[in-house]
Each structure stands twice: as structure tokens, then as C-alpha cells.
A and B are shown apart, each in its own frame.
Chain A
Amino acid sequence: MEYLLQARWMISPDFKVAKNPSVVIEDEVIVEVAVNGATPSTRGHDRKSFEKGLLCPAFVNAHTHLPETLLRGLCDDKSLHEWLFDYIWKVEPQMTNQDAKIGAILGCAELIASGCVGFIDQYFYAAEIAEAVFETGMKAYLFPSIFGEDTIQYNPESSTVEESFERAKEVYAKWNGKEKRIFVGFGPHAPFTVSEEWLSQIASTAASLRTKIHIHLNETQREVKEAKEQWGMTPIEKVADMRILEHCLAAHCIHVTDKEIALLRDAKVPILHCPQSNLKVAAGIAPIPKYLAAGAGELICLGTDGQASNNNLDILEEVMLTAILHKGLHNDPTSVTAAEALQMATRNPAQVFPKGSFCRGIKPGEKADLVVFDLSKVHLTPILDPLSNLVYSAHGSDAQLTMSNGKILYENGQFQTLDIKAVLQNASAVTREMCRRAGMEQSFSGLK
């Protein structure tokens, strides 16, 4: 594939705004970038011009449970206990592998339509998610879920811990490194759901296979309190004590001390930060300014979490929230700039993917993972600073082109790699059935 993309503005690798960019793409890679209206040296490529387009490196959703799209809006505004025991753990165990595949494709559609090319996932049915990623042309780092004995009865896919670990290894064997778009690690849920023995074994396997583990740490105050009671240390400290912190991607990390922030920073642990979910389930607010001040800013990656606690996959919403939340919380309008927040959705999570597999900035040699936002819309006019318009005014739905490895996945509202009508119909149908099997038909409204 050979393209010449021309836009009005571009987010440069140092997160400034460049004018009148031309980007030349050959095969899967950016080969040339010209700015200020300069003509690139290559010619004869398929040209696409975006008159009021803002060219940006593609987004990554750094913490998802993708098939949970099927649970979108199943239960909100309830206590954690009710949410889990009366809703999620009634319906989710009924999810089949076919359901999961459809849920994953629906999630891919939503991500693609909002400028996201990659995601970092922890869930069951990782093989099916991998298929969805493969078919739609996206990229993903998948971490098959592993839960311990205490909650195994809610696991829709496996009936023992051994089984889920074996499955995870199979997914790794089949899918890791596929077309350098799909990568696989292991997803032991959290130190309070997976035994120390298992956690140790899983981490050791991950290390020997040169991959990572994706784990939830310090998400709630209760979790931290109980960890201290059980082990005399917090979940982060426990994982550090087990000498496996360096192998981790850590989701949430909300209730942390300065010491823990330093531990994470020194072990170069990507922090998968989900501000909307953290608010919605009342887990708390992670101290992002502290992470930035401690020099851990490059590790912060934005995620949406699952669809029963957000409830959409729009990363730009997380970017905007990150840019305004801490200003209000600390009465400091300079806290977390728009550029800093944008990095957390682009360059930072791109660095979690193996080098050379995901665009880390628009420059020659990088993979052509790009999104063009259409700034000609009413709510984006007038334009004083395109970066400000992107962060404080735009939505994912303003994406007019989404490209992965130089392949167009989405253009002007049309999906190129999936049949959206079929996806929506299938999602509705399988969700209705899943709720019926759970004895929860009344919770599903459906749409004609």
C-alpha cells in the first residue's frame, strides 16, 4: 500500500502542532514526513487530502476487557457487591466463545471508529479476541485472564486454574507475534484473586517467554487495607517483594504512596490508568500529578476499562478528563497539560508494544498507525490551537480516517474491514440469548 496523506495540521513527535504536513507511506511504514507545505520527494502514491484534518499518531486503549461490550449498561450506579453478584457474575459466566468473538469485534468497531488502532486487553476467550484483531486489521497486546480457585465458578471459559493457564499458553503459542500485530502475555487478575504460588509461576513463565504480565494493583482502598492485614504490605509492595514487578503492566495503581510510585518508576512498569472507570465504580482518583512530578510520566497509559464501568471505549474522553480533573482537584490550572494527556493515549502506550510494532510518533521508519481528525466541525470551530481543539473539544467520533500498518480500517464513517450492520445485529442477538440463559431477560432492552 502506498499513500500520500496530506492534512492541515499534524501532531509532531514532540507534541507540538506542525502545519500542512505530507506523510508518505509505503507498505506498512512511514517513509517520509514533510511539513509547512513542503513537497515530499516521493511521487505517484495514492493521495488523500484532508482540508481541515489533524493528523495524529493512532490511539491505544491501554486497559480493556473487550468482549465486555456485551455488558454495556447492564448495571450502573449500584454498590460493587450488587454489581458483581447480582448482574455481572450472573450474565458473564453465560458468555460462550462465539459471544466473546462477536463482543470483541463490536469492541474493535468502536475502537476503530474513534481513532484507536491498538489495545491492551485482559480477558477470557483471548483466542477469539485475537481472531477479531487479526480479521479487523487492528493491533493488540492480549493477556488471557487467569483467576484463582475462589472465583473459578464465575469463569465462563475454564473450570480450573490449571486449565486457564494452559489455555493462556496455547494462545501465546498460536498468536504471539502474529504479523507483528498481535502479542500475548499472561493476565493473572490481581494478588487478591490469584495465589502467590500461581502468581509466581505465571510470572516466571512470562519472563522465560520474554513477555509480560498484566495485573490489577491498588485499585481500591479496601484491597490495600486487606493486603496489609494479610501480608503486611500493599499489593504493589507484595509484587515487588516477589521480585516480579519488572515483568508487570499494572492497571489502576490509585492508592499509592510516594515510595510505591518510585518502585513502579524504577521498575519501568507501565501504569494503565482508567480515570472514568475509577470514578464510576468509586475506586478513587489516581494522583497523576505525583506520578508526573516523580518522573514517571512516560509510564502513564490511558485505558477505558470494561464496558460495564465506563461505558464506552472512547480514549479521547479519558484524555480530556485527565487534562481537567487534576486542575480542579488541586486548584491548579497548569496541572497536567493537554499535550501531557495526549501522550498518555499515544506515545506512552505505543512504547508498551514491542519496538518497531506500533507507531511511536509520526516520523520516518515508524509504523503507519495514524488517525486523521476532522476539525471542520461546528464544535471544533474556530481553531486557535489544534491540539487544544483535539483534547478539549473533540470526540473519538470526529475521526475521519483510521489507519493501521498503512492499511485503512475506517474512512469517512465507513468500516473497511468489518460489516457493521451484521456486527450490531449479532451483538444484539447474542446478548439477548446470553441474558436469557442467565435468567435475566428483563435487563435487556434490545433495539428494533
Chain B
Amino acid sequence: MDLAILNARILPMVDSPHVMKDTTIVVEGDTITDIGLSTKVSVPRGAYRIDGAGKVVLPGLINTHSHAAMTLLRGYADDMKLDEWLNKWIWPLEAKMTPDDIAVGAKLAAVESALAGSTVITSMYWSIVAEGKAIAEVGIRGMLGPPCVSWRSKESVEEAKEAARELHGKYDGLLRVAMMPHAPYSVDPDLMARMRTLANEMNAKYGSLECPVIMHTHVAETQDDWQNTVNQTQEWEKNGIDTSAIHESSSVVDYLDRLGMFKNAETGVEDFLGAHCVWLSAKDIQIMRDNGVHAAHNPDSNLKLASGIAPLPELESAGITIGLGTDSACSNNVLDMFNSMRLTALLHKGKMLDPQVLPAERVLQLATIEGARALLWNQIGSLEAGKKADLITVDFRKPHLSPLHNEISHLVYAAHGSDVSETIVNGKLIVEKRKILTVDVPKLLEEAERTKDNLLQRIME
């Protein structure tokens, strides 16, 4: 079904952000076919018309780092340090999760994302094929992969292959897959290197230049990440693994560089997205710049888990491509990219004591077009004829969005995810007037509560 949003203000996010007024945008199939003055654009007969009065239309927000099914753990284990949180609370509970549980959690995540104007969710999680199906059912996009870890080396590789085979490019192109070694402290050098070659293999088999299989890893999230990696070498050496690359390196970034992780050697494409990138030296940033490494910035999670504050202004100055992310609902505790935009725009001003750092326009770019670049997903991130139709409308007829001096300012400094009115992904209307059209939400919420209760029961046993 064709769609048209009429007489709206549109933020195409092409070049420097600007607002087009009295504009109509036309979607045919899954593609944007026209954007222009309402008086000039012709709307195809039979197109579903959406009144844009009082609304601002922009590209769907792109969440470049999360763990979708962890919505089930919203509010579980607040106020703890990362390694206690992971080792004592999260991983033991996750061990009890079934693929069905994960499907429920991922569906909830996709619904939450769509309602808050996110049209892409990046998820590193177990039973990723179940997650993928659930996300595609809701109708948003997913950049997905299983977390690959040393204590499940063989299974990790099999699961990664399965994910690529079952999900990459599937469901009308809604889903893509990345090879996702969890982190340097949980993935030994052999497995890490294997994941790089696997990414190349999977890309050759299932990917293309237009739809590549990329890489995604947790990079330097806490101050202890590197030391934790070094500490692991003793155990790995016992298992006959060569850890010299770690001993020769001085940091996470240095080590990943040494292993050649940042580039697909076959295609020459720099396809590495590092999540967090908080504890970086100037040299690390240089290495990232020289190797085209992308970064996913997750300020809410970094604060809540007490990891720190990433050097975003420095990454920007170095010209590194940066996307924004929410991380999981267990360390945020929502999947609301408006929150993350706001925090990004405020935090670094205060930290640097400079009110001109990261202006609203730039933050909105990070949440849209730059996020697309970070995922190497070129068909989305901006509203242009010929691009895929991933867009949201935000209703400005609210007290906290009035009066209207500047649309971009309000989106970043005043709006919430709950101000989103419509969400369209791949040309399909997923949310209309804040109602999800593709899922029975009350039923899903009940299921989520039940699933959470059963899960908690299982850990008690």
C-alpha cells in the first residue's frame, strides 16, 4: 500500500539539518518516491493519507547497540558494578532463558522501540534467530547476532553461522546479521580471530556491498576491560591458546588492531562497530580513526552502570563515525532514543564546560544518518527519494513542545519517545496515532509479566 504524509514539516537529515515546511512525502512500496512542497507533489491514487498537521517528520531513529530480550529484566539488578552485574546476576539468569522467553522479550523490545520512534534495533543476544523472527513480526529492522564467548566456542560459531543463514537480508530486508564476539575479556584470541574470518566468509556467502555482514563487539566499556582481558590469558594459555597478541598490546583497541579485526580483508571494507568506547587513550582514538572503526555511544548505560563518560567530542574531532544506542533495558532502563539524544546533547557540554559542544543538529544526525553509516546500512538514515521508507512523525501539539521556535531543538531538548505519533518501516505503517498495528499489545504485556515471573521462579530452584 502506498502512503503519503501531507502538509507536514519534514527533517530529511540530508546535508546540514534543515526543516522543510508545507511538505508532502510519498512512499510507494518500501521506498520514498517524492518529497516536496504539498502544492507540487502529486499523491498516487489510493495512497493511504496521513495528515501531517502539527507534526514533524524525520527519519526513524537508529539504535546501534542493545540486547533486545533483556526487556524482561527491566529493573533487575539496579545499582551494581558491571562485572558483579554480569557474573553474579545477568549471566546466571540468562542461562535459564528459553528461546520462547527470548522471543517474548525481543517482541516487547521491538514494540517499545517502534512506539518510541526507533526503526532499527541492534541486538547482541542468545537465541538470536528467535529474536529476529519476533522483531520482524513487529516489523522494525534488526542488526542482529549471537554473543560469541570462549566457554561456548564451538556453539558460538555454529550459532553465528545459523544466524547469518536464517536472518541476513531476510524478511523483506528488515534483518541483517553481524558477527558479534562479546568482548576481549570473554573471547580468547583464537576465537576472536576466527570470528573475523567468519565475518568475511558469511559476508561472501550471504552478504553484498549493499548489504554487508559486519562486526560488532563491546570495546573498552569499563576502566577494567583491558586488565580483565590480560587476567584471562593465564586460563587461556592453559588451554593451549596463543595469547601473545594480548601481551604485545597495551590496550583493547591496540589488541584488536593487532589481530586485524577492523577490516574485511577480502572486500577491503572497514566494517567494525565498537560498542561503548569509553576508556580510550589518544592513541586508541588515532588507531580507530586510521582504521575507519565506528563507535556506538550509549551514555545512559555508561552512567547507570558506572562505567564512565565516553570521549565523544574527541571521537567527533577525529572524524570517527558515531551512532547512538540505548544498550539493554536492564541498564538504562528503557529503549528510548530520545532520552539518549537528550543525554548526549547535555552530558558533554557539562563535562567539557562548553555549551557549544555537540549541538542539537549534530546529535540528531548521530541518531539517524550517522547511525546508518555506523551499521553500513546505506539505504536508511535520511529521507530522500530512492531510499527506504523508514520514518516517524512527532506530534508537536503538546504543552512541552510549545511554543515552537525550533523543531530540532524541541526534538533533542524537550521531546520524549511518547511524542511519536506514527512509525513507518520499510514503507509499512507499524504505529499509527500511538497504536501498534502489528501486535496484540495487551496480550504481549501479559505474556511478558508471566515470562518474567516464571524466569524468576526458575532461578530460585
Contacts and interface: CB of A to CB of B under 8 A. Distances in A.
Interface residues on B, range: 35 or more
Contact of B448 (A311, A335, A382, A448): A382
A420 interface: yes
Interface stretch (A58-66, A77-85, A176-184, A258-266): A77-85
A443 interface: yes
Interface of B: 7, 19, 53-54, 71-76, 78-81, 85, 108, 111-112, 115-116, 223, 300, 302-309, 329, 332-336, 342-343, 345-347, 349-360, 396-397, 399-400, 402-407, 409-410, 413-414, 416-419, 441, 445, 448-449, 451-452
A447 B336 contact: no
Contact of A445 (B19, B78, B350, B449): B19
A302 to B, nearest CB: 15
A317 B418 CA distance: 14
Interface stretch (A159-167, A344-352, A385-393): A385-393
Contacts of A110: 399-400
Given A312-B400, A395-B416, A397-B416, A333 B81 contact: yes
Contacts of B413: 73, 76, 280, 310-312
Nearest to A285: B350
The 3 residue pairs across chains A and B that have the minimum distance between CB atoms: A279-B350, A328-B303, A73-B409
A282 B355 CA distance: 5
B111 A378 contact: yes
B303 A331 contact: no
A381 B451 CA distance: 11
Contacts of A284: 350, 353
Contact of B333 (A321, A330, A393, A448): A393
A389 B329 CA distance: 11
Given A279-B347, A328-B309, A381 B402 contact: no
A310 B355 CA distance: 12
Interface residues of A, number: 76
Contacts of A424: 397, 399, 402
Contacts of A385: 75, 78
A74 B400 contact: no
A423 interface: yes
Given A72-B405, A73-B410, A78-B356, A382 B399 contact: no
Contact of B115 (A73, A113, A282, A379): A379
Contacts of A335: 306
Interface string A307-333: 000111110010001001101111111
Contacts of A324: 300, 303-304
Nearest to A106: B399
A90 to B, nearest CB: 13
A376 B399 contact: no
A70 B404 CA distance: 9
A282 B402 contact: no
A300 interface: no
A276 interface: yes
Contacts of B347: 279
A335 B304 CA distance: 10
A439 to B, nearest CB: 15
Contacts of B73: 384
A282 B352 contact: yes
Contacts of A431: 403, 405
A113 to B, nearest CB: 6
A405 to B, nearest CB: 22
